[in-house]
Chains A and B, each alone.
Chain A
């Protein structure tokens, strides 16, 4: 193997990692953020670590073109709602892309079902999420690109990132204990 080929062979994996980071950053920078309510529970991944598992809780107000959430050609049409969550209608992606201000593909959106958390303090975070999900205060902030591709931005409890919310709850509990 010539030195140039060897250099190329060793550069290829690095280029893959750079591409992954660049793609993720580009999508976050060129997306609009929407909040969706979640219901949650909590296992772990042996390779990637601890995560919270959840399901998005979305109730479309209107169904156009007899679409279903499991159909890869279907999208949610998104419009700003009264609270933090958007007003949602379901339609084919073709209809949604031509008639809605923003839209997100249903299959990849509902595939967002886990959020990685640090090992340290995970129990508190799990408890915070459980309580918040019960009280409808847990939301997933999703960055949606112009082509309707979703990507997780943050897991929010009462509008703040879960780590901060869990830390605040822990501090409150400690103060009450004192």
Chain B
């Protein structure tokens, strides 16, 4: 076990005595989560859900529709009863996840039997609404992650339908449609971040609140990266829009202003440092600001600027992650920068010879960066966080 190895190291270094090491080991054993059980349960649940879908997709002909619906109903009731009777733990989590997938598979079965085809967005919306209270029974990060994946998928389909509806039915002019699209798609991450702040969720389902928060910040990061990507294309007078990006900037700006209140108490770790707060605020406002600069003015295509902005975005995300104490995210950010650099090499060179040379140089650069990352990232992390820790000690933290 990792903790036992660490305890032995600390004991050997004279940092803790034997009694303390034993007490820590006992505490950790008592609070350990059955990760293997959750993992096996999760894999089993996903396999069962895929099995339901495959059986329904085969549209087995020998069984009459009424019997199919009857069996489906019985399984649905049995699953609900099993969840109700089970006590909190990996079994209940697994059953909830199975039922989450089973409801979608059952909707597909009914759609298949009655040849219903009322649109994927509508089916996903009905599924998400009907299963949301059930998913709140679950407490694990695994169930919450699957739930958020379902919600984000539904969100995407509903958004596309909403924009199609605006285009087809309301007959909005092109610019108004673009503004509506920017606002509708842009506020999504804020909804997840606000969702993570619901008091009951934070108190009773901290893992779910944490997954909502992670999804929200992932959305903010994706938005900033996409905003940088806009500069690859030129903007004509017909495509130029201002109202949508400005409104999005105001919404994100208001969120950034209220960040210490909104974000601080949620952190399970230490309070947010001033640098982490600065990083998150810049990330929040930077995306919409880049978007405004990208689509608000008539200009040509600026691919070099776009690539540099993308790398700057990734660098800023990595730095912010480090300041917020997420070393894993920092490493991910550095890896993303390496990949982007490799991409730029491929974009820059045109012919086979040049592409080949570009790939060799890009590969060498990546290996070099990986070496640097492995050798220096720990030291870099310490160097980047050190002064801030000192300021924290002096100032007593930010939030």
A residues near B (Cβ < 8 Å) are: 1, 3, 5-18, 20-21, 24, 28, 45-50, 72, 111-121, 151-152, 163
Q: Is B133 an interface residue (CB 8 A)?
A: yes
Measured between alpha carbons, how far is A9 from B132 in the docked complex, in Å? Answer: 8
Subset of 8 A-B contacts with CB under 8 Å: A7-B84, A8-B133, A13-B80, A16-B127, A50-B57, A114-B117, A120-B60, A120-B61
Q: Is A111 in contact with B130, judged by CB distance below 8 angstroms?
A: no
6 further contact pairs, Cβ within 8 A, besides A14-B73, A21-B110: A13-B76, A45-B57, A48-B56, A48-B57, A48-B112, A49-B112
Q: Is B115 in contact with A49, judged by CB distance below 8 angstroms?
A: no
Contact of B77 among A12, A14, A72 (CB under 8 A): A14
| A143–chain B nearest beta-carbon distance, Å | 10
Q: Which residue of A lies closest to B130 (CB)?
A: A16
Chain B residues with Cβ below 8 Å from A115 are 115
| B231–chain A nearest beta-carbon distance, Å | 36
Chain A residues with Cβ below 8 Å from B117 are 111-114
Q: Is A117 in contact with B103, judged by CB distance below 8 angstroms?
A: no
Q: Which residue of A lies closest to B82 (CB)?
A: A10
Contact of B72 among A17, A24, A72 (CB under 8 A): A17
Chain A residues with Cβ below 8 Å from B107 are 16-17, 20
Q: Is A13 in contact with B103, judged by CB distance below 8 angstroms?
A: yes
Q: Is A16 in contact with B103, judged by CB distance below 8 angstroms?
A: yes
Measured between alpha carbons, how far is A5 from B204 in the docked complex, in Å? Answer: 14
From known contacts A1-B204, A13-B99, infer whether A24 and B130 are also in contact, taking CB-CB under 8 Å: no
Chain B residues with Cβ below 8 Å from A163 are 61
Q: Is B69 in contact with A21, judged by CB distance below 8 angstroms?
A: yes
Q: Is B58 an interface residue (CB 8 A)?
A: yes
Q: Is B108 an interface residue (CB 8 A)?
A: yes
Chain A residues with Cβ below 8 Å from B110 are 17, 20-21, 24
- Contact pattern, B 33-70, Cβ under 8 Å of A = 1, otherwise 0: 00000000000000000000100111111000000010
| A86–chain B nearest beta-carbon distance, Å | 20
Q: Is A24 in contact with B56, judged by CB distance below 8 angstroms?
A: no
Q: Which residue of A lies closest to B135 (CB)?
A: A9
